[in-house]
Structure 1
């Protein structure tokens, strides 16, 4: 069994060019040698290839409107039936729900000014920010996914099991890049611990791709805060309380009482929160809240 990786592939960098789909598969950047989407409707999609393109695609560089899989005639490439939110399309929807990144590869056959002159070029990580159904140009329902480029300090890595195909040698160019890899397994772990319930309001949100919740870091990652990507620095929150936490709408006392909101943070025994990160949040992100301590100099 090989591992499906959500995030950058070790020793592969943005701008690396691969001669063909076999080389691309060998690199593990995109394992399928024919399918445009790599993933499953249970785990999510780890990579996509832009090659040839559906007629409803839009490639704007850092923003891509990607048409889902299915419904095309294999010979004419025209849309001849409706698409459904299942299989590979549901995989991309799961990325949106769980915040999983997807690797994007552009092929030379893709009709875009951003495509390479030859082969397949790795373009880095994108996030699926929304998805919707519409009547496409051919008159059939298609599913569209808006992908936005992830900046360097947002990049994360998560691995799951997948069947291993046979690969050949890869060709790549050398580039110098700096990137921060984070562990996406923690994002899923915190949601599993609380069964997608918000730790503040107990809300559990249902969508057409399953339940939705957000993993919120108490002490933010990256400069200048440099919080760790560890389970004791992460909360499971609904979108509203995630935004409030990030922008100082409430904070948390050492005994998990909420400051700025009524009630107490729900914490399960298997989820140990580091009090150092709670204190950091109180000192740096909350002002003018009842009983909130003032920031240190």
Structure 2
């Protein structure tokens, strides 16, 4: 799936299988999912449920959304970190909500992050992250002429520039092809079509701020979507010397060895960086 080819209409409803077909990836069960398309462009999927653990206010153009972490104080890691970083480094964020009497997730459009606050916002005295989100109007949505009237006057405009990391997508594709689109962790090979494999490229030392990792093959792994998410969430680590895998909860993988081709020179310093700065155990 390429984000540029993804077509979603606000109001559409999806179950888990339908979401996987549309996005080419299943649900992790987290409220904030870190995802990548086939060009390795990062995007987020946010899920809010009236029957969930948080009383998110999802009404109006702006609303509040509570970060992930159900017990203890929440930390600025994994999905919370990426959502907070989106204030300064925007990326596509797709928002889904499920009512108390509905078994499906309703797509409510893309959102942007305006603010992030941390504190005990209720009687539990538990520190959580409260994000202020704003819905972005999709060009395909019907515009209410009365509501839009206030926008007819010419607004004050300012010029701004935005920088983004340019990825070498051909380099990632070449590496995926070398591994025949199989995951270096589990060996699974997903398919985009009958005759097309699917895998994702992961930078051990992430690109952009604050990590400033390089877009080089020695910093890349070829992974299935599930284990790509595990690297992002820090639930997996790899010993730089032995390539032995440590997994926080998947016992069948804990103690196995990362598959590495002889012609793939992986730099151990990037594994060390991941283990020290991203892995959560």
User: What TM-score, normalized to structure 2?
Assistant: 0.43
- After TM superposition, the score normalised by the length of structure 1 is 0.41
Give the structure with higher Rg (CA): 1
Larger RCO: 1 or 2 (CA < 8 Å, sep 6+): 1
